[in-house]
Amino acid sequence: MTMTTTHPDPQTIAYEVVHHLPGRLRLRVPRLRYDEHYLRQLQHLLVQQEVVQQIRVNAAAACIVIEYNSDGESHLALFSSLIRRAADPDLPSPTILPIDKQVYSPWNTAYFLQKMALPVAALAIVALLPLQTPFYPVIVATIITIIALPTFQEALESLEHRHLNVTQLESLWTILHTLQGEYMAPVLAVFMSQMGGCLRDMTAQVGEAQVFDPLDQQRTYWIERDGSRRNVSIRELHVGDHVIVAAGSAVPVDGEVLWGSAVIQRQFLTGESDLLTCEPGQAVLASSLVVRGQLCIAAKAVGNDTQVGKTLQLAKQAPQLDTRIENYAEEISNQAILPAMGVSALVYGLTLDAHRAIAPLQLDFGAGIGITIPTAILAALTHAPQVGVYVRNGRALELLSRVNIIVFDKTGTLTEVKGTIAGVEILKEHLSEDTLLYWLSTIEQHINHPFALAVMEYAQARGISPGEYSDWSYEPGRGAMGLVEGQRILVGTHQFMTDNNIDADLEELRSHEGVLWNRSLACVACNGELVAVLFYSNPVRPETASVIADLQNRGIECYMVTGDHHEVANAVGYAAGFRLGQIYTNTLPEDKVEILKKFKNNGENVVAYVGEGFNDTAAMAYADISISLPEGSDAARQTADILLMNNNLEGIIQAIALSKEVMEIINQNIALVVIPNVSVVLAGVFLSLHPVLAVLISNGATLLAELNSLRILTDYRPVKVKHKISSGRSQTGMLDIPWKKRPRRSFVRLGSDTPSPA
């Protein structure tokens, strides 16, 4: 039966139900054969469904097998809708992030014995069974058929769909050798091929053993429990807690909204970037991002009992290992199938020697590459946490090995996330600093941003605790406002003040002392009037200058983008080792995207973006590779291809070195597989090489390449980053000359390009 559906764009996605049993569905979707992005999106959508238990994809045959909990229903309509939705070009790529790192060994004795029991038994029987045994040919042929049955089935499925792949060559080679009475060669080939696949699968299990989660388990949330308010980590959340979540943070529980109003995005859980309004009484799921507003949620499920926790268990069954080099090698291998068959027929026509004619059918280096490249990728993904990074998939590794431009956000990325308040300028005589800090801490208490954290620390050091607020709202990158004891308080950028009809030209600051050249600035207003200005800074990370110097020595161009004004940005950039032409200031999120577009130059460059803030997610999504830190926002963590697990920028160096190492190993493996395979074919045609020896050479080379892939797990060591000796550059001034007070004439301009405190 064939069903066709229409995509709204419009785009027709055809599929065929090959067979359908209760709990098991095999579909043929032609688009799987040529559209890798569609394949990944369909996998992602399927694993989100509670009914789905397992997914297996054969892209070459354009087939997907779905095992599900039927409960008496076929769920065909559900799967049909997912096939349509996966073709949506606006559907964002899924992201899975880690919360844990451990040292794992790829060896699993129980799994190895389970997978190898049948091939070992078959090899032993064929080797030890006397030739005089009655019905010896029938017995051995039956054994060969049983152990090679998966290959035969895949070959037939591909033929049914008029698609050629190496399984047809393998099947034909096995059948012809068996008919000739060469029993040992087919059994040995299956044995060695199964061993290679077993090594790959064990490596995959190691990668799956590492726990993934879109939420930072070390992040803390304000909760209301037993009548008191406290700050706890995600691991300490209980069912029944009232969890307060502000803009820029991910919802950590499944529950019901008690109070508040917000706009949320459920991209991680559903794959869709649509924005939804959330009001009291509505259900909300863990991993949903609060884009705007604030919510108090009554927790009904926490941890692994949440919907996202259950989803991640299924997600482990669909690791993302695709690389262009593997696809290219597979394409070449498939294109060689018909020529190999033609050469086989030609050799037989010229020599009438069936033994020589069968030799070209062993040209299946694509199978060896299909085993060794995923093994190398899996080994690298598994080992990456040991050098302090998490890499989401093989595609990111491949791109990272070719990256030539890296763009850094400033605040919280090149600088420490934890900032400090450098000064407070009160503009109204009647206002005390304690009152100002009370307002600020109350408004900022639930915001996860360096400025907000600095305000809270500054207030707490002076013994000031936050109070209650109402009518609160938060605009990431701009500011926050709310009612505190009847006073309308606004905290944010100059533009935020202007947009709310508050005069913030800062002329009054001309007569004030303590205005620092290289400090960021935030405005505070009360009841429509500017009442104070805060100066704050984030110290440059100690490793920043060394990392930038190392990257530049590797031939990678480095740039810094920031929403801060140019005086602050230049001070930080100079201390970090950037030249003036490498610093972009006063950038909004959309400006960062335009900068990345320019750098990508229609695909001529491979561009990475490093950021940690909610405002960085647009640029991270547009970059070829996105990199973030665990202490950054949940939005950035969910978008990132690479996570620096140690909260250290040196992880970028480690990730690049690992990516180059794995690509070098992949190229070695291609040579290890292709050269012996082609040599065996030539030797079989011209020298009549014995098929058993041919199998040992060809499949042995594949096993050798697999062992070469596993070197990453045992031999690879982190690279040493050369720590840069101070060049005298400092955040306090060029060559450590202290900054002078800002000239009076500059304050108006300062008001127009003040950075975001939020």
> Would 226 be classed as within a structural domain?
yes
Picking from 405, 402, 644, the residue whose alpha carbon sits closest to that of residue 543 is 644
Residue with the bigger pLDDT between 725 and 122: it is 122
Token pair, residue 322, equals: 């695709």
* Gap between the Cα atoms of 183 and 122, Å rounded: 11
Give residue 734's pLDDT: 38
Give residue 739's pLDDT: 38
When pLDDT is averaged across residues 559-575 and rounded to a whole number, the result is 83
Residues of the chain with pLDDT > 70, as a percent, come to 77
Number of Cα atoms under 13 Å in the Cβ half of residue 503: 4
Considering 620, 647, 674, which residue would you say is the last residue of a domain? Answer: 647
Q: How many CB atoms lie within 10 A of CB 232?
A: 15
Residues linked to residue 13 through DSSP beta bridges, in sequence order: 5
> Would 297 be classed as within a structural domain?
yes
Collect all residues with Cβ–Cβ distance below 8 Å to 174 and sequence separation of at least 6: 144, 148, 151, 186, 189, 190
Domain that holds residue 507: 420-537+742-752
Global pTM value? 0.63
One domain, residues 555 and 610: yes
* Gap between the Cα atoms of 425 and 433, Å rounded: 9
Give residue 204's pLDDT: 55
When pLDDT is averaged across residues 501-516 and rounded to a whole number, the result is 58
Residues linked to residue 3 through DSSP beta bridges, in sequence order: 15
Check which CATH number belongs to the domain holding 557 and give it.
3.40.50.1000
> Would 74 be classed as within a structural domain?
yes
Residue with the bigger pLDDT between 63 and 320: it is 63
Cβ-contact 701, 193 below 8 angstroms: no
One domain, residues 177 and 119: yes
One domain, residues 506 and 367: no
Considering 612, 647, 682, which residue would you say is the last residue of a domain? Answer: 647
Q: From the centroid of its chain, how far is CA 282?
A: 30
One domain, residues 547 and 566: yes
One domain, residues 435 and 577: no
Mean predicted lDDT score pLDDT of the chain: 77
Strands 479-484 and 254-265 turn out to be unpaired
| Integer angstrom CA distances of residue 496 from 299, 307, 616 | 34, 37, 19
Cβ-contact 330, 324 below 8 angstroms: no
Cβ-contact 515, 744 below 8 angstroms: no
**For the segment 174-211, what is each residue's pLDDT rounded down to a tens digit?**
888 888 888 888 888 888 777 767 766 665 554 444 43
Hey, what amino acid is at 618?
Answer: A
When pLDDT is averaged across residues 386-402 and rounded to a whole number, the result is 86
Asked whether residue 537 carries a pLDDT value surpassing 70, the answer given is yes
Give residue 1's pLDDT: 34
Give residue 108's pLDDT: 62
Residue with the bigger pLDDT between 542 and 567: it is 542
> Would 729 be classed as within a structural domain?
no
- Helix, strand, or coil here: 738? coil
Give residue 89's pLDDT: 67
Check which CATH number belongs to the domain holding 302 and give it.
2.70.150.10
Q: Which of 110-124, 420-434, 490-504, 587-601 has the lowest mean pLDDT?
A: 110-124
**For the segment 398-431, what is each residue's pLDDT rounded down to a tens digit?**
899 999 999 999 888 898 877 788 888 888 888 9
Residue with the bigger pLDDT between 257 and 217: it is 257
One domain, residues 490 and 611: no
> Would 483 be classed as within a structural domain?
yes
Instruction: Please state the length of the chain.
Output: 758
Collect all residues with Cβ–Cβ distance below 8 Å to 482 and sequence separation of at least 6: 442, 443, 469, 470, 471, 472, 473, 488, 489
* Gap between the Cα atoms of 523 and 756, Å rounded: 10
Report which listed range, 262-266, 325-329, 583-587, is most confident.
583-587
Q: From the centroid of its chain, how far is CA 102?
A: 18
Three-class HEC string of 35-53? CHHHHHHHHHHHHCCCCEE
Residues linked to residue 415 through DSSP beta bridges, in sequence order: 540
One domain, residues 453 and 472: yes
Hey, what amino acid is at 210?
Answer: Q
Asked whether residue 102 carries a pLDDT value surpassing 60, the answer given is no
* Gap between the Cα atoms of 634 and 308, Å rounded: 14
> Would 634 be classed as within a structural domain?
yes
Check which CATH number belongs to the domain holding 472 and give it.
3.40.1110.10
When pLDDT is averaged across residues 143-150 and rounded to a whole number, the result is 88
**For the segment 711-721, what is each residue's pLDDT rounded down to a tens digit?**
888 788 888 87
Q: Which of 6-10, 272-276, 358-362, 479-483 has the lowest mean pLDDT?
A: 6-10
* Gap between the Cα atoms of 580 and 590, Å rounded: 22
One domain, residues 467 and 406: no
Helix ranges restricted to H, 710-754: 711-714, 747-752
pLDDT band for position 60 (50/70/90)?
A: low
Q: How many CB atoms lie within 10 A of CB 105?
A: 10
One domain, residues 626 and 694: no
* Gap between the Cα atoms of 136 and 140, Å rounded: 6
One domain, residues 444 and 552: no
When pLDDT is averaged across residues 672-690 and rounded to a whole number, the result is 88
Considering 268, 298, 315, which residue would you say is the last residue of a domain? Answer: 315
One domain, residues 303 and 203: no
Q: From the centroid of its chain, how far is CA 706?
A: 25
Token pair, residue 223, equals: 């909760």
Report which listed range, 41-55, 281-295, 415-429, 643-657, is most confident.
643-657
Give residue 202's pLDDT: 61
Residue with the bigger pLDDT between 140 and 247: it is 140
Asked whether residue 570 carries a pLDDT value surpassing 60, the answer given is yes
pLDDT band for position 625 (50/70/90)?
A: very high
> Would 733 be classed as within a structural domain?
no
Strands 24-28 and 52-58 turn out to be unpaired
Left (φ > 0), alpha (ψ -120 to 50) or beta: where does 357 sit?
alpha
Hey, what amino acid is at 547?
Answer: V
Question: Among all chains, which residue has been given the structure tokens 């087939």?
Answer: 63
Token pair, residue 672, equals: 């290890």
pLDDT band for position 298 (50/70/90)?
A: very high
Total structural domains within the chain? 5
**For the segment 719-757, what is each residue's pLDDT rounded down to a tens digit?**
887 765 444 455 444 333 333 343 333 332 333 333 344
Give residue 205's pLDDT: 53
When pLDDT is averaged across residues 549-568 and rounded to a whole number, the result is 88
One domain, residues 123 and 196: yes
Helix ranges restricted to H, 316-449: 324-335, 337-351, 354-358, 365-383, 394-400, 433-444
**For the segment 337-350, what is each residue's pLDDT rounded down to a tens digit?**
888 888 888 988 88
DSSP letters, 680-727, are HHHHHHHH---HHHHHHHHHHHHHHHHHHHTHHHHT--PPPP-PPPP-
Q: Which backbone phi and psi does 259 adopt, to 5 degrees? A: -150, 165
Q: For the chain, first and last CA: distance in Å? A: 56
Token pair, residue 197, equals: 């696949």
Residue with the bigger pLDDT between 129 and 330: it is 129
> Would 257 be classed as within a structural domain?
yes
Question: Among all chains, which residue has been given the structure tokens 């973006």?
Answer: 609
Question: Among all chains, which residue has been given the structure tokens 């919280």?
Answer: 412
Type and span of the H or E element at 453: helix 450-461
Give residue 398's pLDDT: 87
* Gap between the Cα atoms of 330 and 675, Å rounded: 15
DSSP letters, 556-619, are -EEEEE-SS-HHHHHHHHHHHT--GGGEE-S--HHHHHHHHHHHHTTTTS-EEEE--SGGGHHH
Per-residue b or e along 174-191, where b marks 16 or more CB atoms closer than 10 Å to that residue's CB? bbbbbeeebbbbbbbbbb
Give residue 491's pLDDT: 94
Residues linked to residue 11 through DSSP beta bridges, in sequence order: 7
Residue with the bigger pLDDT between 11 and 135: it is 135
Q: Which of 114-128, 179-193, 281-295, 495-509 has the lowest mean pLDDT?
A: 495-509
